[in-house]
Amino acid sequence: MADHPVDEKLPALKMATTGLQHVAAMYAGVVAPPLIVGAAIGLTATDLTFLTGACLFTAGLATFLQTLGIWKIGARLPFVNGVTFAGVVPMTAIVASTEDKSDALPIIFGAVIVAGLLGFIAPPVFCKAVRFFPPVVTGTVITLIGISLLPVAFGWAQGPNPAAHDYGSATNLGLAAVTLLIVLLLRRFTRGFVKQIAVLLGLVAGTVIAIPFGVTDFGPVADADVIGFPTPFHFGAPQFQLAAIISMCVVMVVSMTESTADMLALGEIVDRPADEKTIAAGLRADTLGSAISPVFNGFMCSAFAQNIGLVAMTKIRSRYVVAAGGGFLVLVGLCPMAASLIAVVPRPVLGGAGVVLFGSVAASGIQTLVRAGLDKDNNVLIVAVSLAVGIIPITAPEFYHAFPETARIVLDSGISTGCVAAVLLNLVFNHLGRSGRDAHDVTHPMEAGEELSGTPKAPAAS
């Protein structure tokens, strides 16, 4: 019996190039949090480079845990892990409240370790929420993931620094548009392997085209060391402060919610639906990776939704391809020069490619919603309100400004709030108090381990 495409081992060259494409797709997302937090602390350029490399290294380790797995750890899906954006706000808040900035990273690392260890024992209970994710919910969440990521691509397209004079300039937007056009042309007029690595080729071509415009900066390559190992606890032994631990535990809950949604989305895309066992194993990989990450000076790890778009677009479903990407992340983390080489890709070029990647996620969600049965009024209401709630942080970023900072960690995540809204609305409209006469219009919550394929269940008996 042939292996499922998820377990397929591709030829070495194809494995390497497609794995590198995953790294290219998520690189900017991995390096952004350490750059933001490091700048808030006031780290030197050397320490900032070290912190960034450490986050890349730990992202590779977490990706290994998720794709290859050990024991009951790892979803064993083509799932990339890296530093979660959800932690940026509380980490900068910890920095702001720390009088001696040299203590900020040890306090953050201590809080992440505790949150990771507590999260590691939670999946058996947490993952039971999977039964409340029928297609009308998963489709809404997948669509929200794509919509939530698109502003990131639009921001990249404008340039790396909003304060710069050329932010949003015709040159930057033009480079993004050219990169997008190259990817589209490659996808339309090529076949086979070239078509599958269209995004990677688009990034390379866009970078080359950007050179005459002075947007491509090779300075980081010249200044970087060839080898640099992330020494354990380089910034000091972890410190454990209750307020910081609580805030990072809240982030862990948010991260686990988003990872659950991402696993459900990816399971749909690769045709291996994520059941409770898979989700529990995936959450263990997330949380264990997060607990280990601070040892090597990294932050909390979580699933990277943008790589789901790459899987959806390329149709390459092998988890070993993503594991190869994890290998590249480890190597890049050990080689600052390699990390700086990837950093050469201009942000507008990343933005152009990101439009395709993130848009593919939203399109996958729409496909799932079509199968969910939008001809039913209840489902239309669920999708309409859940999307509206999830889009609030995107369209009105200050909507929750009057809420406490801890609450905003959750509320400012449109994926999390939209997911919760969809689950609750599905229970209210399609489950609680349903009568025999409208049972045929009901989208039932799933039973544990049931497929998330979108196939309607048989009507309940009248």
Convert 116-155 into a string of H (helix), E (strand) and C (coil). Answer: HHHHHCCHHHHHHHHHHCCHHHHHHHHHHHHHHHHHHHHH
CB 306 within 8 A of CB 243: no
- Choose among 25, 152, 137: nearest CA to 390: 137
Q: Is residue 458 part of a domain?
A: no
Domain assignment present for residue 198? The answer is yes
Q: Write out the DSSP string of 215-243.
A: ----HHHHHS-S-----TTTT-S----HH
pLDDT in tens, 394-423: 888 889 888 886 677 667 777 778 888 988
Tell me the pTM: 0.67
394 within domain boundaries: yes
- Nearest 5°: phi and psi at 261? -60, -40
H helix intervals, 272-318: 276-292, 305-314
Residues with Cβ within 8 Å of residue 375, at least 6 apart in sequence: none
Q: Which domain holds residue 94?
A: 5-441
The pLDDT mean for the chain works out to 81
Helices (H), 373-413: 377-395, 405-411
Concatenating the DSSP letter of every residue in 351-376 gives HHHHHHHHHHHHHHHHHHHHHH-TTS
Let me know: does 258 contact 303? Beta carbons within 8 Å: yes
Q: What is the pLDDT along the chain (462 residues), one digit of tens a residue?
A: 567 888 888 888 888 888 887 887 777 678 778 877 887 888 876 788 788 889 999 999 999 999 998 888 988 988 888 888 777 768 887 887 788 888 899 999 999 999 999 999 988 888 776 667 778 887 888 788 788 878 878 988 998 888 888 899 999 999 999 999 999 999 899 876 677 678 778 888 999 999 998 888 777 677 767 777 888 999 989 999 887 888 788 778 877 877 887 888 888 888 888 888 888 999 999 999 999 999 999 999 888 876 787 787 778 888 999 999 999 899 888 887 776 666 678 889 988 988 887 787 788 788 888 878 787 888 899 999 999 998 998 888 889 888 886 677 667 777 778 888 988 999 898 877 664 444 444 443 333 334 433 434 433 332
329: buried, middle or exposed (CB in 10 Å: 19+, 13-18, 0-12)? Answer: buried
DSSP 168-219: T-HHHHHHHHHHHHHHHHHHHH--HHHHHTHHHHHHHHHHHHHGGGT----H
Cα torsion 277, 282, 283, 285: sign: positive
Three-state secondary-structure class, residue 84: coil
Residue of 346, 25, 349, 343 lying closest to 175 (CA atoms): 349
Are 450 and 275 in contact by the 8 Å Cβ rule? The answer is yes
Residue 325 lies in a domain: yes
Is residue 61 included in any domain, yes or no? Answer: yes
Q: Are strands 81-83 and 301-303 parallel, antiparallel or unpaired?
A: antiparallel
Say which DSSP state 4 is in. P
456 is a domain residue? no
d(CA 311, CA 268): 11
Element (H, E) at 303: strand 301-303
Number of domains in the chain: 1
Structural domain contains residue 462: no
In contact, 60 and 329? CB cutoff 8 Å: yes
- What confidence score (pLDDT) does residue 22 get? 84
Q: Is residue 375 part of a domain?
A: yes
Listed residue (166, 162, 199) closest to 360, CA to CA: 199
Of all helices (H) and strands (E), which one includes residue 301?
Answer: strand 301-303
